[in-house]
């Protein structure tokens, strides 16, 4: 079965396997404080500010999710038609665009803004007595922390590097493997611009509020990496 899959489609399978662990790590649930801890130490005004930030970015988050899902779905459909009706370089470019669009769609579906599908349930929670208010405050804080953590990851240097690596790999395949220099350059520029636009339009209000007002404990850690030849690098992010 693997032999019948064209090289560009093999690429998307491999890329999805590489991106999956990082995506799952970024999407881990934030610690849930629980009503008891919240009732003891959560500042109600802080919870109200968190709720205001989440409510303010709810529409943006859903627009991002459905907009990019529709975009990638449209590209996949159009390029599938081109792949079926063309030959040569045009067919190769269509196969590559199908593969890279599946990678983008995979990332969009795996890492949606948590507020897009979590805020309505939290907002609808009753708060007519102290116990209910404590439970709702805990849910607001948990959703805010998860949203902020996802935003930190999505806007991190790591995500930009992944996008560059994906598009550079596709460019190398087209240039050296298929000898399509012009199409390789077009795909490199176009694919990189789409990836960066996807990152740029991802919601960031919770991340900014957490940084500016100290509404959540976002941490940046530097992890040094040493290589055999004496060189080194550092990975910076939220872990």
pLDDT in tens, 164-180: 998 999 888 888 887 88
Measure Cα distances from 202 to 52, 209, 213 in Å. Answer: 18, 15, 20
Neighbours of 158 (CB within 10 A): 16
In this predicted structure, what is the pLDDT of residue 139?
A: 94
In this predicted structure, what is the pLDDT of residue 89?
A: 83
Residues of the chain falling short of pLDDT 50: 1-5, 9, 12-13, 16-17, 20-42, 217-223, 225-228, 233-239
Tell me how long the chain is. Answer: 239
In this predicted structure, what is the pLDDT of residue 24?
A: 43
In this predicted structure, what is the pLDDT of residue 67?
A: 97
Which CB contacts under 8 angstroms, 24+ apart, belong to 70-78? 72/101, 72/102, 72/104, 72/105, 72/108, 73/105, 75/101, 76/101, 76/102, 76/105
In this predicted structure, what is the pLDDT of residue 214?
A: 67
* Residue-range domain boundaries for the chain: 2-237
In this predicted structure, what is the pLDDT of residue 135?
A: 93
Helix axes 157-172, 7-26, angle to 10 degrees: 170
């Amino acid at each position: 079965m693997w032999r019948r899959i064209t090289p560009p489609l093999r690429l998307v399978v491999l890329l999805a396997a590489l991106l999956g662990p990082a995506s799952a790590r970024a999407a881990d649930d934030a610690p849930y404080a629980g009503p008891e801890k919240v009732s003891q130490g959560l500042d109600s005004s802080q919870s109200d500010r968190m709720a205001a930030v989440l409510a303010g970015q709810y529409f943006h988050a859903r627009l991002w999710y459905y907009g990019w899902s529709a975009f990638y779905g449209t590209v996949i459909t159009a390029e599938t038609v081109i792949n079926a009706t063309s030959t040569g370089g045009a067919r190769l470019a269509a196969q590559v665009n199908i593969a890279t669009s599946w990678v983008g769609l995979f990332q969009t579906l795996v890492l949606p803004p948590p507020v897009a599908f979590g805020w309505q349930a939290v907002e609808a929670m009753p708060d007519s007595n102290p116990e209910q208010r404590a439970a709702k405050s805990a849910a607001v804080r948990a959703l805010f922390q998860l949203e902020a953590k996802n935003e930190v990851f999505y806007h991190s240097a790591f995500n930009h590097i992944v996008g560059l690596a994906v598009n550079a790999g596709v460019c190398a395949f087209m240039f050296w493997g298929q000898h399509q220099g012009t199409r390789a350059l077009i795909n490199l520029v176009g694919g990189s611009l789409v990836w960066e636009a996807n990152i740029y339009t991802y919601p960031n209000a919770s991340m900014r509020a957490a940084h500016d007002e100290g509404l959540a404990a976002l941490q940046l850690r530097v992890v040094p990496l040493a290589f055999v030849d004496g060189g080194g690098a550092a990975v910076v992010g939220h872990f």
